[in-house]
Structure 1
Amino acid sequence: MTMKGLYVGIDLGGTKIAGALVDRDGSILRRIRLETRVEQGPQAVIDRLVESIDQLMDGVRSTVKGVGVASPGPLDSRSGVVFSPPNLPGWVNVPLRQALEDRLGIPVKLENDANAAAWGEYRFGAGQRKGTMIYLTVSTGVGSGLVLDGRLFRGENTFAGEIGHTIVDPEGPPCGCGRQGCLEALASGTAIAKLGQTADPSSSIHSLAAEDGGVVRAEHVFQAYRMGDAHAENIIRQTVRYLAIGLSNLIHIFNPGKIVVGGGVSRAGDVLFPLLQEQLDRYLMAPFRETCEVVPAALGEDAGVLGAAALWTDCGQQVVAGEPA
């Protein structure tokens, strides 16, 4: 094991803490996965984080240059404070970075989990250091991160990148954020599942769900689509249309070289990506067509830990193709 320039990356999820000891090249040298125990409150979670990081650094602590933590937002990455994430109940203005630094005696950086995953894909995954890249995770919700001209873009208050809460249909369904017609309310896995639940009783969506626990999920809708189910086709085409509207707006605003799509819905890539490209061509102005690749994410669950670790290696500077890390 190399002993030079090691970093710890932590992805703090709602139920699991995923961690890794990572070298500068993005090689994972050790892994750890623990229950978050979020129901016990912030202090219990911080204790688990410290336990995870200590285990990862065992025997190499002196060579670890920093710890990066990817956390659900909203949060302020500059002050290191986590505000009130929906999947971390009881967390209100928790100074997570300071709490960890006090316990570990090692510098810590805190980042929104979608931003960290975006940085991981940009540095080590499907982003391939394309100068401007947008990462989109389509799962229970819709999260995103922006890498503009080789830099992770956070915005004035570090809130940038809430693509899931851009409005694509003002008359659309209510969103968990309190507004209506957001991309997340119309194109997330949750949105697909809700439409599947209301599909005609004759649809194979319901029979597939009945064979798999009885609860309709997005994967049942995609499976029914592959079987030629007309109701599922209508749902998927409607969903992809809204996703294409959202992505076309991003392409017109940021002119990215790549949009990397991750999350559970992206696993239906054989269905999703051809339909998405077809719809995008409808909504893009002619000069923008064929300027942006829309590709599946490459790192899977490792995107967050690798991106969190890479916050220490080069996130503060521009990183573009051909430049050393």
Structure 2
Amino acid sequence: MNASSSPRNAAHNFYGMGTYVGLAGALLAMIVLFSSLSDHFFSYDTLSTLANQIPDLMVLAVGMTFVLIIGGIDLSVGSVLALAASVVSVAILGWGWSVLPAALLGMGCAAAVGTFTGSITVAWRIPSFIVSLGVLEMARGAAYQMTGSRTAYIGDEFAWLSDPIAFGIAPSFIIALLVILVAQVILTRTVFGRYLIGIGTNEEAVRLAGINPKPYKVLVFSLMGLLAGVAALFQISRLEAADPNAGAGLELQVIAAVVIGGTSLMGGRGSVISTFFGVLIISVLAAGLAQIGATDPTKRIITGAVIVMAVILDTYRSQRARRRN
């Protein structure tokens, strides 16, 4: 692997200050637009509420960034989230476990599901799109079975995660920010991050360099599962319950946020910080449309159009990068 494939160079090539400024400018423009259309949008209460509602999306988007960077995709994250929440509810309500062991079991179960997805994908060289689609159904079915297809009310055992502390910000948001910062350092400052970018750029070249990409790919899917388990705890803290329907369609929001942030669907390029901007953009868009009274079909049309524009921009960037090389 040559120097140009290092994570630091990849970050400079594709995610320089201009990219961050562009994403921040788009976010600011949306805030100004919705503030002009709604008297209540640009307020501390609205923005703090929004911040406390997105930690689950933030951590899931971190995992999806890594998955897309290696050229994969995981459609099962919403169902894995629901399964992890269901496991926690059974451990607490059915087996009488305390909070910490139940939380660890839920996260461990989610990580195991991610490992299963990655192992099947790698061992049989099946597109992760297909494998994760099957796992989506399996995990959702297991969540229904464990809860009897009913919402399991856990109580306020995890409420501390979503209860606002300083400046109205909940611990879950702070934890999600820390996850983003750590993930960005891993991606840009470690050998592991360099390998992931190399795998997504040219897996055969990585293999010829004497590096076995298989365990790294499985590990990324395991990480995706683990973060789905963390997201499940965040949802439980807000709902005070485990809902087997939780996370339905969440994978689309996660992928949309990551793509809007500039991570390539073709692999080999991504930034966790840019993904964070993507999460903010798609969340502000959803909140703003809701405040101005947009109907659900209208919100879907606009959100879908934004995603298509992001994909077109990604294609343009990829073509321009190939011409430069």
Task: Output the TM-score relative to the length of structure 1.
Answer: 0.28
The structure whose residues are more often strand, as a share, is 1
Task: Output the TM-score relative to the length of structure 2.
Answer: 0.28
The structure whose residues are more often helix, as a share, is 2
